[in-house]
Amino acid sequence: LAGRLGASLGLPVYVVGGFVRDLLLQRPNQDIDLVAEGDGLRLARALAKELGGRVREHRKFLTSMVIFTDTQGREQRLDVATARLEYYEHPAALPTVELSSIKMDLFRRDFSINALAVRLDGSFGQLVDFFGGQRDIKDKVIRVLHTLSFVEDPTRCLRAVRFEQRYGFHIGQGTEKLIKNALSLKLMDRLSPQRLYGEFRHLCEEDAPLACFTRMDQLGIWEAIAPQLGLTPTRKALLQRLQEISGWYRLLYFEEEPLPWLVYFLGLNHGLNYALTAEHYRRLGLPEALRAVVLSQREHLRSLGSQLARRQAEGAAPSALCALLRPLRLEFLLYLMAQTSDAPLQKNISRYITQWRRETADITGDDLRRLGLAPGPACGRILAAVLRAKLDGQAPTAESQLALAAS
Ligand code: CTP
Q: How many helices (H) and strands (E) does the chain have?
A: 21, 9
Residue nearest to atom 18 of ligand 1 (CA): 18
Ranges of H-type helices in 226-287: 233-250, 260-268, 274-283
* Dihedral (Cα; 186, 188, 191, 196), 10-degree rounding: -170
Kindly give the distance from the C-alpha atom of residue 182 to the centroid of ligand 1, in angstroms, as a whole number: 19
- At 159-217, the pLDDT tens digits run 999 999 999 999 999 999 999 999 999 999 999 999 999 999 999 999 999 999 999 99
Which residues are paired to 144 by β-bridges? 111
Ranges of H-type helices in 1-123: 2-9, 18-24, 40-51, 94-107
Give me the pLDDT at residue 99, please. 53
User: Over the Cα atoms of the chain, what is R_g?
Assistant: 27
pTM over 0.95? The answer is no
Give me the pLDDT at residue 88, please. 42
Task: Please say whether the beta carbons of 392 and 319 come within 8 A.
Answer: yes
Give me the pLDDT at residue 130, please. 96
* Band of pLDDT at residue 117, cut at 50, 70 and 90: very high
Kindly give the distance from the C-alpha atom of residue 107 to the centroid of ligand 1, in angstroms, as a whole number: 13
Q: Which residue type, as a one-letter code, is found at position 167?
A: Y
Question: What is the three-class DSSP state of 14?
Answer: strand
Give me the pLDDT at residue 89, please. 46
Q: How far apart are CA 259 and CA 293, in angstroms?
A: 14
Closest ligand 1 atom number to CA of residue 33: 16
Pocket of ligand 1 (CB under 6 A): 17-18, 31, 33, 109-110, 114, 153, 155-156, 159, 202
Kindly give the distance from the C-alpha atom of residue 158 to the centroid of ligand 1, in angstroms, as a whole number: 12
Q: How far apart are CA 286 and CA 178, in angstroms?
A: 28
Kindly give the distance from the C-alpha atom of residue 18 to the centroid of ligand 1, in angstroms, as a whole number: 6
**Ligand 1 test: best mutation among 116, 159, 169, 191, most atoms within 8 Å of CB?**
159
Kindly give the distance from the C-alpha atom of residue 144 to the centroid of ligand 1, in angstroms, as a whole number: 13
- At 77-112, the pLDDT tens digits run 999 999 864 444 444 444 344 455 899 899 989 999
Give me the pLDDT at residue 212, please. 98
Kindly give the distance from the C-alpha atom of residue 309 to the centroid of ligand 1, in angstroms, as a whole number: 46
On the question of pLDDT at 372 being above 60, the answer is yes
- At 265-316, the pLDDT tens digits run 999 999 999 999 999 999 999 999 999 999 999 999 988 988 999 998 999 9
Closest ligand 1 atom number to CA of residue 155: 8
Q: Are strands 63-69 and 54-58 parallel, antiparallel or unpaired?
A: antiparallel
Residue nearest to atom 8 of ligand 1 (CA): 156
Q: How far apart are CA 303 and CA 52, in angstroms?
A: 56
Task: Please say whether the beta carbons of 201 and 258 come within 8 A.
Answer: no
φ, ψ dihedrals at 65, nearest 5°:
-125, 130
Give me the pLDDT at residue 93, please. 45
Task: Please say whether the beta carbons of 26 and 2 come within 8 A.
Answer: no
Give me the pLDDT at residue 60, please. 76
Residues 6 or more apart whose Cβ sits within 8 Å of residue 102: 12, 14, 16, 35, 37, 83, 117, 128
Task: Please say whether the beta carbons of 390 and 362 come within 8 A.
Answer: yes
> What number of other Cβ atoms are within 10 A of residue 190's Cβ?
10
Mean pLDDT of 12-40: 95
Residue nearest to atom 21 of ligand 1 (CA): 18
Closest ligand 1 atom number to CA of residue 17: 15
Give me the pLDDT at residue 295, please. 97
Mean pLDDT of 253-267: 96
Q: How far apart are CA 144 and CA 11, in angstroms?
A: 29
Question: Residue 228: which of 261, 264, 273 has the closest Cα?
Answer: 273
- At 52-79, the pLDDT tens digits run 999 999 887 788 999 999 999 999 999 9
384-388, long-range: CB within 8 Å, 24+ apart, which pairs? 386/361, 387/319, 387/359, 387/360, 387/361, 388/319
- At 329-367, the pLDDT tens digits run 999 999 999 999 999 999 999 999 999 999 999 999 899
Kindly give the distance from the C-alpha atom of residue 310 to the centroid of ligand 1, in angstroms, as a whole number: 49
Which residues are paired to 141 by β-bridges? 170
Task: Please say whether the beta carbons of 354 and 285 come within 8 A.
Answer: no
Residue nearest to atom 9 of ligand 1 (CA): 109
* Dihedral (Cα; 119, 123, 129, 134), 10-degree rounding: 90
Task: Please say whether the beta carbons of 70 and 76 come within 8 A.
Answer: yes
Question: What is the three-class DSSP state of 92?
Answer: helix
Give me the pLDDT at residue 84, please. 63
Kindly give the distance from the C-alpha atom of residue 214 to the centroid of ligand 1, in angstroms, as a whole number: 22
Question: Residue 404: which of 381, 359, 249, 228 has the closest Cα?
Answer: 381
Question: Residue 14: which of 125, 145, 110 has the closest Cα?
Answer: 125
